[in-house]
Amino acid sequence: MGKLIDRFRNKQAHVVVMGLGYVGLPLAVAFAEAGFDVTGLDLDDNKASAILNGKSYIQDVPDEQVQRLVASGKLKATTSFGVLRQADAVSICVPTPLRKTGDPDLSFILSATDELAKYIHPDMVVVLESTTYPGTTREILLPKLTENTGLKIGEDFFLAFSPERVDPGRTDWTTFTMPKVLGGITSNCTEVAAAWYGAALQTVVTVSSAEAAEMAKLLENTFRMINIGMVNEMAIMCDRMGVDVWEVIDAAATKPFGFMKFLPGPGLGGHCIPIDPLYLSWKMKSFNYNARFIELASEINTNMPRFAVSKVQDALNGIAKSVKGSQVLVLGVAYKPNIDDLRESPALDVIHLLQQKGVVVSYHDPYIPHFKQDDGEMHSVPDLMSAVSSADVVVIITNHSEYDYAAILDSASLIVDTRNALGSKGKESPKVVRL
């Protein structure tokens, strides 16, 4: 254990990051920047080749940084699991989606751990980063890594959980500066993993168990999901009463303490907030406990795309036009502003619901040139302003900052603004319907 810790302090350890997506690539880059020899391991040959060719496919990681780290030999990439044989330290950053039934899909964690189990050896430390329900590290990873290996946890090898908190598109908090919560299966595991992460990241916050670290991540994301659900319901209630929810939120936010601003919108998106709390509510069922806050917020948030579509119907009704056959332009399909991530985006539901009603839908997004639907592919309109002026209704779903909202307001004949992107100008304009 002491020797392994020294290898981290002296930056001599060989680090492998399994899964080179939104989480894994920035983490691999942070370890390489700290001076470790890092190999990124992914099933996707395109990702490994891109890195070896000095190309980043993650917006927050510049090409130049990948080129520099690859040229210096600090960063490598591969699809070959054999690289785990030489690894001192392994971070697992594979996806944790939901199944169609709403249950956790741990298949990526299971297959990554099965591969790792073939190569686990003494003096190795493994950290799971994928968001998951409390208990996964101990109940799923630990048996797989000890079965048939004869290795003893906390003595021969070390296992911990450390949740990733990256917020794509954010520049004030990065993988390096974001405090990293970490909890091991044993106290030795915590100590070794903290020596590794502490040698590369600015602040490591240790907790007493892997379960506490797993739960901390779910508390953070459940907090956001429930507060967004609450403010979405506030938007629905304000709508019924004819009160401007945006004005109400701004007024409440003048309170210097005890209030935190959350904004309503057309629904939740991304790989984390809509999904992670459901991992917790699923796990709680095995304790005969119904996680009511989570279920309620999920129900409200899931219905927000329908609420947004009802606003489009109201807008068309106001000009005596039928929904069927109308031309609707959706502005922004990414799940949040200024990023290129479409996962779980409410725009997909809004588009689908509009199409079901016979609407002719087009979209524009500077970050997402095209995307697949169940029955085909959609492409971003090439000429934004001509699409804005020819649409019956423009629906602002994602408030990307590069849009010229004043020009859009001038050119459009009718706008549904689900994000208050037009601000007070939208409030004053008779051609704008707001959430």
Ligand X SMILES: NC(=O)c1ccc[n+]([C@@H]2O[C@H](COP(=O)([O-])OP(=O)(O)OC[C@H]3O[C@@H](n4cnc5c(N)ncnc54)[C@H](O)[C@@H]3O)[C@@H](O)[C@H]2O)c1
Active centre residues (catalytic): 272
From the list 39-47, 135-143, 207-215, 315-323, the region that binds ligand X by CB under 6 A is 39-47
- Site residues for ligand X, 246-305, by CB under 6 A, read 271-272
Does 164 bind ligand X (CB under 6 A)? Our answer is: yes
Q: Which residue is nearest to ligand X (CB)?
A: 21
Torsion-angle region of 416 (φ positive above 0: left; ψ -120 to 50: alpha; else: beta): beta
Read off the tokens for 274.
């809509």
Please list, residue by residue across 137-148, b when 16 or more beta carbons sit within 10 angstroms of its beta carbon and e when fewer do. bbebbbebbbee
Does 94 bind ligand X (CB under 6 A)? Our answer is: yes
Read off the tokens for 174.
């990065």
Does 168 bind ligand X (CB under 6 A)? Our answer is: yes
Closest approach of ligand X to the CB of residue 66, in Å: 15
3-state helix, strand, coil in the chain (%, to 5): 45, 15, 40
Alpha-carbon distance values, 150 to 3, 100, 135 (Å): 21, 37, 22
* DSSP character at residue 98: B
Alpha-carbon distance values, 283 to 26, 103, 277, 375 (Å): 29, 9, 10, 34
Does 26 bind ligand X (CB under 6 A)? Our answer is: no
Q: Whose Cβ is closer to ligand X: residue 42's or residue 365's?
A: 42
Question: 44-49 — which CB contacts under 8 Å span 24+ positions?
Answer: 44/20, 44/79, 45/79, 47/20, 47/21, 47/77, 48/20, 48/77, 48/78, 48/79, 49/77
Position among 44, 64, 103, 383 found at the interface with ligand X (CB under 6 A) = 44
From the list 91-99, 137-145, 301-309, 364-372, the region that binds ligand X by CB under 6 A is 91-99
From the list 18-26, 179-187, 190-198, 232-240, the region that binds ligand X by CB under 6 A is 18-26
Q: How many residues bind ligand X (CB under 6 A)?
A: 28
Q: What are phi and psi of 327, to 5 degrees?
A: -105, 115
Reduced to 3 states, what is the DSSP secondary structure of residue 15?
Answer: strand
Residue 151 host element (H or E): none
Q: Whose Cβ is closer to ligand X: residue 96's or residue 232's?
A: 96
Closest approach of ligand X to the CB of residue 165, in Å: 6
Closest approach of ligand X to the CB of residue 100, in Å: 18
Does 42 bind ligand X (CB under 6 A)? Our answer is: yes
Q: Whose Cβ is closer to ligand X: residue 111's or residue 317's?
A: 111
Q: Whose Cβ is closer to ligand X: residue 54's or residue 97's?
A: 97
Position among 4, 15, 22, 128 found at the interface with ligand X (CB under 6 A) = 22
From the list 36-44, 133-141, 142-150, 183-191, the region that binds ligand X by CB under 6 A is 36-44
Q: Residue length, the chain?
A: 435
**Site residues, ligand X (CB under 6 A):** 18-24, 41-44, 47, 93-96, 108, 111-112, 115, 129-131, 164, 166, 168, 271-272
